[in-house]
Structure 1
Amino acid sequence: MTALTLIIPIFGLVLVGWIASLTGIISERVGDGLSEYVFSLAVPALIVSTLTRPGLSGEIAWGYWASYFGGAAIAWATGSLIGRRTEGVDRRGAVLHGFAASQSNTVFVGVPMILQAYGEAGAFPLFMLLAVHLPLMMGAATFLIESEGGRPLGHRLTSLGLVLAKNPIFLALAVGMAMKATGLSLSGIPKALVDSLGGTASTCALIALGAGLTRYKVLHDLPGASIVAALKLGLHPLAVYLLAFHVFTMPPAYAGVAVLFAAMPVGINAYLLAARYKSEQGLVAAAVLVSTLAATATTVGWLMLLGRG
């Protein structure tokens, strides 16, 4: 398998979704519905199906977590520092700059990409990282932004808990890990239903991502968005690569999963958070678009460096 034969089908589906939306073959309403289906049903089903699969097991050394989140911290701090020094960006906006520079698009691109690249060897470290990534990154961003408003600690923690409790991905991870810990597995009709839903996740996610890109405007916020995209696609995976391969010790597949996870474009959660707090929406939306387009080239480089192409 070469890097290009892995990349082309994935980003090709993003292109199909973008063209279909641009030409009116699918409407914005259909694109939104497809995104909601992926986020609420398809990917949660894929997570439960994968985590409860017999034979999926492994051990995660603390160096794996340190490598990924150490790299994320470096990218986040750099993005926030640049944001703070940018005219017109307040402290809340600077938090969003840093969050966008370190928040990977895991659901729409990361899961299909990494499973294609590493297969069964990468499934366990991928979903374990996904389990920690969502609550930790979203929790840190929400906590930092809420702290700017001077709200009491208890209120901030309650707000964070409500956000996570309503997130289908987080709930699916909790259910899947609980079933795995207790030895429960799916069988019969329930397994067939969950596997059918999970089997649609990758294709639908990539089409939905492409369709959603048509709504983002980039010209006004292009300079700032380009900086965020460069941090996300360059600094974040580079820092993780150095930590995973040259500082800590772990199986090659685990290190590769961490690097590819970091090499994914800016995640849609960064835009959703910016929209929720009505800060830096244009820049973050543009960063999602710019980084997704640029990732078609940068991901090839990381795959070749990792020996997957």
Structure 2
Amino acid sequence: MGAKAGVGMLCAGCPAQSPAGFVNALAIIAPIFGIVLIGWGAALAGLLSDKVSDGLSEYVFAVAVPALIIATLTRPGMSGEVAWSYWISYFGGAGLSWFVGTLIARRRAGIERRGAILHGFAASQSNTVFVGVPMILQAYGEDGAFPLFMLLAVHLPLMMGCATFLIESDSGLPVLARIRGLALVLLKNPIFVSLLIGMAMKGTGITPSGIPKSLIDAFAGTASTCALVALGAGLKRYRVLFDLKGALVIACLKNLLHPLAVWVLAFHVFKMPTAYAGVATLFAAMPVGINAYLLAVRYRTETGMVAASVLVSTLLAPVTTLLWLMLLGRA
């Protein structure tokens, strides 16, 4: 479907002109961010300890979401075709947000080169596992599953790879050594491995059945709720007052500029199915991802700022996501 047709559908059903549309959009985000807030409140009240939060996060990354990915990719009828315009739209928007975030950070006193790169990375790295997967599947259902998981497959290695190369470009390590290190990191990542397994099974026509299918489906069914609770509980350890102004800048770039750039490219510049364009835009509209914080900890720079941006962008996400859902006509 062409860009004009996609935009036409967008405007024709635009909930901004319909109270019912607003209610429908609210119905999509309320359960998702409601669970996040419940997890956060339970952690603040001491009902969920840091050990529980960490264990739940590990379960989501290592078991639940990998099972969801395999179950989805091997589902009969799960197929599609992804054109270059899809990748250009998403990563073009990510590149713009990354550049602007880095440029703003370089103009601030006291932020060195690595820290500025991490500012840009945080402004363009979406929280895909904890919020993106449940949100997009809720909004687009079966139509959005294939483009979602294809984007997830490319998003992780490309974004992490670019960030690692930029940060370590002055480390003196040979390029091959950096590539080898990144490959080892990816091959130890359960999300990346499950994507490879799911696509291999799909390509060879292997579809789980019987007991294996029941087990995969059982774990997959826990992914969304556990991921959202883990995210909410994990927010307790982030401190928003570290640099509220800087965190707001990163949050606005991530929640607004990134999806805006993707929306313009996907709906107004290139031609692609409406569901693909919507998935790319909503994927970009997700708050700052946890990987930005993990990289900040690993390289021991801008940890407080990135942590604050994760919290601020997540707290702003219910409002900004509602606006994007209304603009995308998913109500």
* Normalised-by-shorter TM-score class: over 0.9
Distance 2:186 2:273 in 1: 31
Compute the TM-score of the two structures, normalised by the length of structure 2: 0.92
Between the two proteins, the alignment pairs up a number of residues equal to: 309
Cα RMSD of the aligned pairs, angstroms, is 0.8
1:198 to 211, 214, 220: 220
Please tell me whether the aligned partners of residues 92 and 148 of structure 1 are also in contact (alpha carbons under 8 angstroms). Answer: no
- AA paired with 2:284? A
Please tell me whether the aligned partners of residues 147 and 156 of structure 1 are also in contact (alpha carbons under 8 angstroms). Answer: no
Distance 1:168 1:151 in 2: 27
Please list the CA deviations of residues 21-55 of structure 1 after superposition, one character each: whole Å capped at 9, or x if unmatched.
01011111101100010011100110011000010
> Which residue does 1:13 correspond to in 2?
35
Q: Tell me, what secondary structure is at the counterpart of 1:128? A: helix
Please list the CA deviations of residues 160-180 of structure 1 after superposition, one character each: whole Å capped at 9, or x if unmatched.
111111100000000001111
2:148 to 126, 138, 142: 126
> Which residue does 2:303 correspond to in 1?
281
Distance 1:283 1:148 in 2: 23
Moved over 6 A (4+): none
> Which residue does 1:146 correspond to in 2?
168
> Which residue does 2:210 correspond to in 1?
188
- AA paired with 1:256? G
> Which residue does 2:275 correspond to in 1?
253
1:154 offset after TM fit, Å? 1.6
2:316 to 285, 294, 298: 294
Distance 2:330 2:278 in 1: 9
- AA paired with 1:244? A
Distance 1:277 1:36 in 2: 22
Compute the TM-score of the two structures, normalised by the length of structure 1: 0.99
Distance 1:20 1:198 in 2: 24
Please list the CA deviations of residues 70-112 of structure 1 after superposition, one character each: whole Å capped at 9, or x if unmatched.
0000000111111111111111111101100000000000000
Residue 272, structure 1, aligned to residue 272, structure 2:
no
1:159 offset after TM fit, Å? 1.2
Please list the CA deviations of residues 244-293 of structure 1 after superposition, one character each: whole Å capped at 9, or x if unmatched.
00000000000000000000000001101111111111000000000000
Q: Tell me, what secondary structure is at the counterpart of 2:240? A: coil
Please tell me whether the aligned partners of residues 51 and 176 of structure 1 are also in contact (alpha carbons under 8 angstroms). Answer: yes
Aligned pairs (5 A) from 1:98-177: 98-177=120-199
Unaligned runs of 5+ in 2: 1-22
Please list the CA deviations of residues 171-196 of structure 1 after superposition, one character each: whole Å capped at 9, or x if unmatched.
00000011111111111111111110
Q: Tell me, what secondary structure is at the counterpart of 1:279? A: coil
